[in-house]
Amino acid sequence: MKILIIEDEQALAQSIGTYLSDTNYLCEFAATFGEAMEKVEVYEYDCILLDLMLPGGDGFKVLEELKAMKKQEGVIIISAKNSIEDKIKGLEMGADDYMAKPFHLSELGARIYSVIRRKYFGNVNIVEQNELKIDLLAKAVSVNNREVPLTKKEFGLLLYFISNKNRVISKSALAEHISGDIADMFDNYDFVYAHIKNLKKKLTEAGCENHLKTLYGTGYKWEI
Amino acid sequence: MNKLLNQSLKQFLVYSGIVLACSIPVYYIAISMLWQYELSEHHIILTPEADREDSFLIIGAVTLLSVFFFALLLGGFVLLNRRISRRLWQPFYRSLAQIKNFNLNQQAKLPFEPTNIAEFAELNASLDKLIDGNIAVYAQQKEFADNASHELQTPLSIVQSKLELLLQSQTLRDEQYKLIEEAVHALLRVGRINKNLLLLTKIENSQFTEKEDIDLSGLVEDTVLQFIPFSQDKEQELQTSLLPGTRVQGNRMLIEILLNNLMTNAIRHSPPRSPISIDLSGSSLVIANAGSVPLDASQLFKRFSSASTQTPGTGLGLSLIQQVCNRYNWQVVYAYYNGRHIFSVRF
């Protein structure tokens, strides 16, 4: 899977690149508007991360150009602006998602995963991992072909882990994923623990191997 | 309040009244003298009774005529005044109407109609200048808010991403992981403060002007549901009594911010296993939670006045609440009663 990171802040682009460069993702970088347009015109990507404020031009123009060329790339806008207007404008112009900086890399990982799945696996969107089978459209999970009933939050967590496999995920990132802005307001993330415990229990009881490892007391990792 | 032209009308009327009143004795004397002259020319001598009668007649006739003309003047003045004020002041009223409809948020200049009256042309030119200045300052402030956000959020996101990468190292010891987690925590707090400060600036800059009719009862109920996991963590019971069908006019995002901050404060600042009550009536929302000491109401809503080390909030929640209330002319009041902090919003 090829990903283009259009971001003028080198340090941030490098972090994203390093985080995503596991076996699945190959990252390329563009730091200016000109570079971005060049790469977008010549190459095909699976997903493009687009910063809106670029030296040499407006990120929206890149998006416009992509749509004019009828390219199918999934686009995730990453902006420091966090303004509703930008978000609406971006989504209306055909972006698939909008993330406000600062964000958790694991959250970015999950969003990229879901954009790519949506784009390329349209109708049969099923993730299989050994005995575990996840139907993304029906939001159903089965182990050895036996369905495991999960709550919405547990399903969200499972997907978050799968899309960030072999990565250490902190509890604060999980809390934000589950509760959005509200988690932001608290420093106590115990409720995350309860959801994870339930998810783990349901999966093991259904006969799924335990992929979810607890690290250093409060971190999690989906090992495969 | 009087209209400008009515003020001068009154003075004109008083003046003409005085002049007409003064003219009564003058007319009387003049007519009497003419009368006497005519009488003596024709050698007519009147009896004193007839003479007095004539005097009365003259006075009566002159007064009557004066009153008649005064009435004529009065009517004429009023009519003329109305016509003049309509015509003469029209450019002024048009400019006034435009200014009334002016919205700084739209950043649009006012197209004043050209007028050939010097005073109004000058007024319009000055207004133009004033409005241009305001628009420029407003745009600058908005730009500053945007830039400040960009400039701060970017380094913040770099630090956050580097810390998260550090978490991926294979050789971390437990205490190292803890150090990173603590740093991430503090960093998230900085991000939160930055976000809230920007939000405050935006509200003060009167952004978020879109308004809609909001089902407050439903919104409060949804908000409470979202907070249940957090209250359960502290084993706090959320007692709600919501009057259904309460509606308010406002910006959905601002009202969500208001509710979220009220709920967060109630849960965060009350001890575990204490009940929190949320009452919504037709005209007010009251949220009460347990607390051991009353808070300083005079400092409460100021920025950063409530940030304490034990409860690491942003110190901006209550300022945000107040700003949102100010926007819609609602009132937010704090009271301490029976060992409970009570925040009520009257709308």
Q: Encode pLDDT of A93-139 as tens digits.
A: 889 999 988 889 999 999 998 888 888 776 678 888 888 888 888 88
Mutate one of A27, A186, A190 to test the B interface: name it (highest B CB count within 10 A): A186
Question: Cβ contact (<8 Å) for B177 and A11?
Answer: no
**B49 has which bridge partners?**
none
CA distance B81 to chain A (A): 51
Distance of CA A46 to the CA centre of its chain: 13
Distance, CA of B53 to CA of B48 (rounded, Å): 8
pLDDT > 90: percent of chain B: 14
**A188 has which bridge partners?**
none
Residue A198, phi then psi, degrees to nearest 5: -65, -45
Q: Minimal CA–CA distance to B231: which of B279, B199, B259, B263?
A: B263
Task: Give the global pTM.
Answer: 0.69
State residue A12's pLDDT score: 92
Q: B18 or A217, which is more confident?
A: B18
Residue A190 buriedness (CB in 10 A; 0-12 / 13-18 / 19+):
middle
Q: Kindly report the CA angle at A104 between A101 and A108, in degrees rounded to 5?
A: 85
Residue A21, C-beta contacts closer than 8 angstroms, at least 6 positions apart: A27
Q: Please give the DSSP secondary-structure letter assigned to residue B284.
A: E
CA distance B153 to chain A (A): 6
Reported confidence tier of residue B306, pLDDT bands at 50, 70, 90: low
Q: B166 or B171, which is more confident?
A: B166
A148-152, A177-181, A216-220 — most confident range: A148-152
The CA-based dihedral angle spanning residues B95, B97, B99, B102, taken in that order and rounded to the nearest 10 degrees: -140
Mutate one of A8, A77, A168, A218 to test the B interface: name it (highest B CB count within 10 A): A168
Task: Compute CA distances B57 → A62, A102, A138, B62, B117, whole Å.
Answer: 99, 99, 109, 8, 51
Q: Please give the DSSP secondary-structure letter assigned to residue B112.
A: P
Q: Taking CA atoms, what residue in A is nearest to B156?
A: A102
Distance, CA of B65 to CA of B58 (rounded, Å): 11
B33 touches chain A (CB under 8 A): no
Among the partner-chain residues B146, B158, B167, the one whose CB lies closest to the CB of A12 is: B158
Between A and B, how many residue pairs show a Cβ–Cβ distance under 8 A? 112
- Count other C-beta atoms under 10 Å from residue A29's C-beta: 18
Q: What is the mean pLDDT of residues A173-182?
A: 81
Distance, CA of B190 to CA of B314 (rounded, Å): 8
State residue A123's pLDDT score: 64
Q: Is the pLDDT of residue B309 over 60?
A: no
Q: What is the per-residue pLDDT across A65-106, written as a single tens digit (0 to 9) for each?
A: 888 888 888 899 998 877 778 888 999 988 999 998 888 999
Q: B86 or A55, which is more confident?
A: A55
Q: Is the pLDDT of residue B145 over 80?
A: no
Distance, CA of A166 to CA of A71 (rounded, Å): 31
Distance, CA of B212 to CA of B253 (rounded, Å): 11
Of the listed ranges A74-78, A100-104, A200-204, B293-297, the one predicted with least confidence: B293-297
Task: Compute CA distances A27 → A2, A98, B321, whole Å.
Answer: 6, 19, 43
- Stretch (H or E) spanning A203: helix A190-205
Q: Is the pLDDT of residue A187 over 70?
A: no
For residue A16, which residues of chain B lie inside 8 Å, CB to CB?
A: 161
What are B307's two structure tokens? 């940030």
Residue A36, C-beta contacts closer than 8 angstroms, at least 6 positions apart: A4, A6, A30, A50, A54, A62
Q: Is the pLDDT of residue B2 over 80?
A: no
ipTM of the complex as predicted: 0.86
Of the listed ranges A192-201, A210-219, B154-163, the one predicted with least confidence: A210-219
B312 touches chain A (CB under 8 A): yes
B172 touches chain A (CB under 8 A): yes
- What SS3 state is found at A190? helix
Q: Is the pLDDT of residue B308 over 60?
A: no
Q: Where are the alpha helices (DSSP H) in A93-170?
A: 105-120, 152-163
CB contact at 8 A, A202 and A126: no
For residue A100, which residues of chain B lie inside 8 Å, CB to CB?
A: 153
Distance of CA B299 to the CA centre of its chain: 23
B237 touches chain A (CB under 8 A): no
Task: Compute CA distances B134 → A6, B44, B122, B141, whole Å.
Answer: 36, 85, 18, 10
Q: Please give the DSSP secondary-structure letter assigned to residue B106.
A: G
State residue B168's pLDDT score: 86
CB contact at 8 A, A3 and A40: no
Mean pLDDT for all residues in chain B? 85
